[in-house]
Amino acid sequence: MTEERKVADSLVETVHMVRPNHLNAAGRLFGGILMQWLDEVAGMVAKRHTRSNVITASVDNLRFIHGAYKGEMVVIVGKVTFVGNTSLEVRVDTYSEHTDTGMRYPINRAYFTMVALDENDRPKPVPRLILETEEEKAEWEAAKKRREMRMQRRKEGF
Ligand SMILES: CC(C)(COP(=O)(O)OP(=O)(O)OC[C@H]1O[C@@H](n2cnc3c(N)ncnc32)[C@H](O)[C@@H]1OP(=O)(O)O)[C@@H](O)C(=O)NCCC(=O)NCCS
């Protein structure tokens, strides 16, 4: 039987408190730290979906919309948007949550392509994705276009 999982089965949400050791010289959350947190979330989502070892093949859209500052909470939400043959796309949304109001402000949305690996570290097929909502179906369609663009970039050696 073909293995398949829902988007909700692998959803991951992490929360980090921005501490002094996370700041850059300008007093904001250091982008490199945030990238590590995003990659970890994408990896956990992919591991939950595939139940196997995974690696990051590419990352799209690392555009920082807002900074985050000491004492704020950084909320990172990751979910599967598309599955190919051996790869899957994971959307990772990042927010800064202000503790006084509970309001969340978008920091970044990134799309990670993760690849499942077998025991010889070679790409292996990933479980299918069950799409339950209109939003998930729309994400899937948008992901197909992003995948085409990545394929094109890969062909061009970019
Ligand atoms: C990603 C990697 C496994 C691809 O290996 P490969 O021998 O080229 O394998 P394939 O061509 O079969 O590609 C495997 C899957 O990755 C996808 N892929 C490969 N390069 C990609 C890229 N640049 N962007 C997006 N997807 C990519 C392919 O489309 C394929 O997915 P599919 O089966 O769903 O169509 C290989 O390049 C690798 O191991 N890279 C290092 C990854 C790593 O170490 N990451 C940690 C960060 S340092």
Q: What is the rounded CA–CA span in Å between residue 44 and residue 114?
A: 10
- For residue 83, the cross-strand partners are 88
- Separation of CA 143 from chain center: 13
- Can you tell me which atom of ligand 1 is nearest the CA of 153? 23
Domain 4-155 adopts which CATH fold?
Thiol Ester Dehydrase; Chain A (3.10.129)
The rounded Å distance from CA 28 to ligand 1 centre is: 33
This prediction has a pTM of 0.95
Q: Is 84 in the pocket of ligand 1 (CB under 6 A)?
A: yes
Tell me the per-residue pLDDT of 45-75, one tens digit each, with 9 for 90 and over: 999 999 999 999 999 978 888 889 999 999 9
pLDDT at position 122 = 98
pLDDT at position 69 = 92
Structural domain spans, the chain = 4-155
Q: Is 52 in the pocket of ligand 1 (CB under 6 A)?
A: no
Ligand 1, atom 37, residue with closest C-alpha: 57
For the record, the structure tokens of 91 come out as 């959307």
CA angle 38, 73, 15 (to 5 degrees): 50
Q: What is the rounded CA–CA span in Å between residue 54 and residue 24?
A: 30
Tell me the per-residue pLDDT of 3-19, one tens digit each, with 9 for 90 and over: 999 999 999 999 999 99
Reported as type and span, the H/E element at residue 93 is strand 87-97
- Are 139 and 82 in contact, with CB atoms under 8 Å apart? yes
What does R_g of the chain's alpha carbons equal in angstroms?
16
Q: Is 53 in the pocket of ligand 1 (CB under 6 A)?
A: no
